[in-house]
Amino acid sequence: MEHELDLLVIGWGKGGKTLAGTASRAGQRVAIIEASAQMYGGTCINIGCVPTKTLIHDAENNIGNDFDPQYFQTAVARRDKLTAAMRAKNFSMLDDLNAVMTITGRATFIGPRRIKVEAGNESLELEAKRIIINTGALPAIPDLGGARVGGRIHDSTTLQDAPLPQRLVVVGGGYVGTEFASMFAHFGSKVTVLDRGARALKREDEDVAAEVLSALSDVDVEVRTGASVQRIEEDGATARVHYEQHGEARSVVADAVLIALGRKPATAGLGLETAGIELTDSGAIKVDEHLATSAPGVYALGDVNGGQQFTYVSLDDNRIVADAILGTGERSTADRVAVPYTIFTTPPLARVGMSEDEAGAQGLSIKVAVKKVAEIAAMPRPKIVGDPRGIVKFVVDADTDQILGAALMHVDSQEVINLVALAMRQELTSATLRDSIFTHPSSTEALNEVLGSFTR
């Protein structure tokens, strides 16, 4: 069979599915292809943001952090019910549109704007005026002995469905590793994190990272820094991670190992070279500021294009491409300012803009306002809910009073950071934020006090 379309989307991620719906409602003939029926809706709702944050919520409600496999399985069942409902809703949102053809199968370029889709013994060829690549990213597995996913060795996807380990070793002290370490420690696992750097969370200022590491220590997570993993062994009953630390050979035994060393763009098997689509040195699809690839009429959205790996960035990618194909074509990645992110440790760490270290490295004239949450008198919310840990830190231009960045680690920080990011986009001064009226008792009102006392 052969069909000519206006728009063809490969991958059901946030940006691609939203663009498919928008184009369809604008009168275009659209097809969306997803390799797995278990991934309708994309990574976020199936194996990423939604399921992990659901588990984190239930872990935080595990009073006493007791090791209870049945409690964990109940949490997994609740997660599965939620993700199944969201997956079905995401499928119907497009499948119910008359102008959208939904296809489950593996897509491969066989020409510049021509795709072959295979599912079992069946195949289908499609041609479109424009093609969107939205295949996301996959966990990166290092090239070292025994590092492969299977048995007791996991990535961030498979560990969510494994039996609750009494002992868990996390290889990597970055954002994913730290978040999973916190979650499983609250489920009662004894967690050891191996990080090859001088300290975990190296992209954060030292005082901010220290607060996160202190919270991990509160649930008995052991973080071993300067630990370079050499190989991983498994004998069926346990796994052993061999590493070198300060010139000495060491090892640690666990019931499960999580390899958390970042994610890589999912481009394998797409036949990109056939379409003349270039990759960057890091393996991402090369795009311009409008997210167009080197092949005319082909765009790349989301994690696969090498940008920030957040579902809300993929959604903004959709806005840029929608403007390119349906609007004025003026919107670009250059418009993207003050993009926040959150690590859902307990309590969560949220950040936007520059850190103090980054501002200093650029030689900027700055002033810094920073306070530990426990010392903020005008912030009763964390105390009310029983978790007064964390830190509030702002980096501000000393001459203009413009907010350059903020790091918030406290109860509700994932919400408060959005207000700060909006203030930055609107170029509000720190004094404006300091003198704003916020509800009480809330975490937001900490800004009144912290921004009224610059310490350096």
Mean of the pLDDT values across residues 263-279?
96
Which two tokens mark 236? 């069926």
Q: Of 344, 284, 309, 286, nearest to 42 (Cα)?
A: 309
Whole-number pLDDT of residue 236: 82
On whether 175 is known to bind a ligand per the annotation, the reply is: yes
As annotated, the active-site residues are 440
β-bridge mates for residue 205, sequence order: none
Asked if the domains at 2-137+264-335 and 341-450 fall in one CATH topology, the answer is no
Is 341 annotated as contributing to ligand binding? no
Quote the CA–CA distance of 106 and 123 in Å, as a whole number: 9
* pLDDT above 50 for 200: yes
pLDDT, residue 1, reads 40
| Helix (H/G/I), strand (E/B), else coil: 350 | strand
53 labelled binding-site residue: yes
Q: What is the pLDDT of residue 321?
A: 97
pLDDT tens digits, 209-245: 999 999 999 999 999 999 999 999 998 899 999 999 9
- The answer to whether residue 303 scores a pLDDT higher than 80 is yes
What's the CA gap between 302 and 321, in Å, rounded? Answer: 11
- Of all residues in the chain, the percent with pLDDT exceeding 70 is 99
Rounded to the nearest 5 percent, the helix, strand and coil shares of the chain are 35, 30, 40
Could you tell me if 369 and 430 are in contact, meaning their C-beta atoms sit under 8 angstroms apart? yes
Architecture of domain 341-450: 2-Layer Sandwich (3.30)
So what's the pLDDT on residue 36?
A: 94
What pLDDT score was predicted for residue 134? 97
Residue 226, annotated as binding a ligand: no
Q: Where do the domains of the chain lie?
A: 2-137+264-335, 153-261, 341-450
Answer yes or no: CATH 3.50.50.60 is held by domain 2-137+264-335: yes
Q: Which band of pLDDT confidence, cut at 50, 70 and 90, is reported for residue 442? A: very high
Q: Kindly report the pTM of this predicted structure.
A: 0.93
Torsion of CA 161, 252, 59, 90, to 10 degrees: -30
> Is 177 annotated as ligand-binding?
yes
Q: Grade residue 104 by pLDDT with cuts at 50, 70 and 90.
A: very high
At 273, list the tokens.
């070279």
Distance CA 76, CA 70 (A): 10
Q: Does the pLDDT at position 4 exceed 90?
A: no
For position 411, what pLDDT does the model report? 97
CATH architecture for segment(s) 153-261: 3-Layer(bba) Sandwich (3.50)
Q: Confirm whether residue 179 is marked as ligand binding.
A: yes
120 is in an annotated binding site: no
pLDDT at 3: 57
Average pLDDT, the chain: 95
Instruction: Check if the beta carbon of residue 54 is closer than 8 Å to that of residue 125.
Output: no
Q: Is 172 annotated as ligand-binding?
A: yes
Residues 420, 340: contact at Cβ < 8 Å? yes
- 345-358 confidence digits (pLDDT tens): 999 999 999 999 99
Q: Per residue in 205-216, pLDDT tens?
A: 999 999 999 999
Tell me whether residue 27 is annotated as binding.
no
Region 389-402: mean pLDDT is 97
Residue 430 pLDDT greater than 50, yes or no: yes
Residue 455 has what pLDDT?
Answer: 84
Give the model confidence (pLDDT) of 278-298 as tens digits: 999 999 999 999 999 999 999
Q: What is the mean pLDDT of residues 6-14?
A: 96
